């Protein structure tokens, strides 16, 4: 599984877009980029994932660079409830994935009023 | 759907005691797993299962046993509790072909004195 690196912490003003970067320079061609978040004391929550193309859902957008060595999770209008630790994970999809997600330290996002 | 449920929410044990942490899911997911999260740390995989009757070890399996007799349930047994096992334990599940997208339970906070 590819190793990912993220900044330890970030701040964002409420109502502004939060852009969380992730580097995965050793990602393999069949590895997806997954994002999870963990709000204090709760279980992690899946946000979004992608392979090559940019993805958007009701929670966030995921921008993956053309060389796939980095990606950015975008929360378009951050609220105080988005304060959490955000994890970027690179792993394969499909039956070859045994589900052993490797959670690093993640980025602590603090949304401020 | 209740999703992934875990019991108990909190537990205090004395060194040497044994106990079972319960995990159940009602989504008919093939894949289930147990993680532990120590204070200020990311999640580490303890054991996982890709279906009833099939289990395997994760990163930190020592001191824990699991079994998977049904699709719904995946209990985690602490054989002889030690203070080093003080942690928050999360159970997760997913479809086997979508193991990157896991649903997590609310966690069990365990303290071993």
Mean pLDDT, range B90-98, rounded to an integer: 86
Count of pairs with CB atoms under 8 A, one residue in A, one in B? 72
* pLDDT given for residue B1 in this prediction: 76
Using a CB–CB cutoff of 8 Å, tell me whether B39 touches chain A: no
Q: How is residue A59 annotated by DSSP?
A: S
For A99, phi then psi, to 5°, come to 85, 10
pLDDT per position as a tens digit, A13-48: 999 999 999 999 988 888 899 999 999 889 999 999
* pLDDT given for residue A3 in this prediction: 86
Strand pairing of A9-13 and A107-112?
parallel
Nearest C-alpha in B relative to A106: B42
């Amino acid at each position: 599984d590819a190793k990912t690196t993220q900044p330890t912490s970030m701040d964002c003003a409420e109502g502004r877009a939060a852009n969380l970067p992730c580097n995965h320079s050793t990602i393999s061609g069949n590895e997806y980029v997954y994002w999870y978040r963990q709000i204090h004391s709760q279980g992690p929550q899946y946000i979004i994932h992608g392979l090559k193309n940019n993805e958007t859902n009701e929670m966030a957008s995921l921008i993956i660079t053309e060389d796939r060595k980095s990606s950015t999770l975008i929360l378009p209008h951050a609220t105080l409830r988005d304060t959490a630790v955000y994890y970027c994970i690179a792993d394969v999809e499909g039956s070859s994935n045994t589900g052993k997600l490797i959670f690093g330290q993640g980025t602590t996002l603090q949304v401020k009023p | 759907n209740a999703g992934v449920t875990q019991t108990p929410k909190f537990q205090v044990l004395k060194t040497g005691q044994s106990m079972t942490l319960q995990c159940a899911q009602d989504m008919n997911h093939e894949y289930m797993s147990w993680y532990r999260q120590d204070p200020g740390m990311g999640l580490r995989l303890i054991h996982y299962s890709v279906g009833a009757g099939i289990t395997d070890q994760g990163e930190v399996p020592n001191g824990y046993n699991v079994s998977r007799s049904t699709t719904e349930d995946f209990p985690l047994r602490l054989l002889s509790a030690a203070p080093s096992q003080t942690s928050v334990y999360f159970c997760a599940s997913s479809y086997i072909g979508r193991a990157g997208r896991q649903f997590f339970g609310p966690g069990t906070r365990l303290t071993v004195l």
